[in-house]
Amino acid sequence: MPLRMDAALPALDGGTDWFNTQPINNKDLEGHPVLVHFWSISCGICKESLPELNVWLDKYGKHGDKGLKIVSVHMPRQESDTNLDDVKKAIDEYEVKLPVAVDNYHTITDLFENKYVPALYLFDAEHKMRHFQAGEKAVKMTEPVIQRVLGIKESVGG
């Protein structure tokens, strides 16, 4: 059964490799809203959304001392997606600044019961799920909820 609203943030332990950070666990994220982003190198839409997530890291991650934390989880959809060199190449090509967990054994993916890429799971500062969105419009649909969770009143047009 997929995660439901108010579900607790599942453990982020179990990534086979990490890029742009040391391994992250839930304790590292305490007191912060958290966005968990699932993507795959074989997903074109996923790669197109990576620059926007970098913008969010800059825009919402520095929102006071309780800014948004974003953790990106690379979820392989096929055997070729498990190649670490290819994952690193995509991270470099799209200038990803986010911490990226490579989930080659679907340990994190299974804890989230996630089946989609791209997929975004937003948790408030108490680590209760407040939003889930998947697919082509996931990024566009999630930003207003991030603003609400952070208590930001954004003007029309952003």
Going residue by residue through the chain, which has 158 residues, state the pLDDT in tens, using 9 for 90 and above.
578 999 999 999 889 999 999 999 999 999 999 999 999 999 999 999 999 999 999 999 987 678 999 999 999 999 999 999 999 999 999 999 999 999 999 999 999 999 999 999 999 999 999 999 999 999 999 999 999 999 987 655 54
Confirm or reject CATH 3.40.30.10 for domain 30-133+144-150, answering yes or no: yes
Could you tell me the residue ranges of all domains in the chain?
A: 30-133+144-150
* Residues 6 or more apart whose Cβ sits within 8 Å of residue 58: none
Considering only CA atoms, which of 13, 2, 33, 8 is closest in space to residue 148? 33
Is 110:23 a contact under the CB 8 Å cutoff? no
Spatial distance between the Cα atoms of 109 and 112, rounded to a whole number of angstroms: 5
42 forms beta bridges with none
Spatial distance between the Cα atoms of 54 and 51, rounded to a whole number of angstroms: 5
- Residue 66 confidence (pLDDT): 86
- Residue 103 confidence (pLDDT): 98
- Residue 32 confidence (pLDDT): 96
Per-residue buried b or exposed e for 94-129, using 16+ beta carbons within 10 Å of the residue's own CB: bebbbbbbbbbeebbbebbebebbbbbbbbbbebeb
- Residue 158 confidence (pLDDT): 47
The pTM (predicted TM-score) of the whole model is 0.93
Read off the tokens for 114: 């996630």
Considering only CA atoms, which of 157, 152, 132, 143 is closest in space to residue 9? 132
Considering only CA atoms, which of 48, 61, 139 is closest in space to residue 94? 48
Place of tokens 């054994």: 105
- Residue 62 confidence (pLDDT): 81
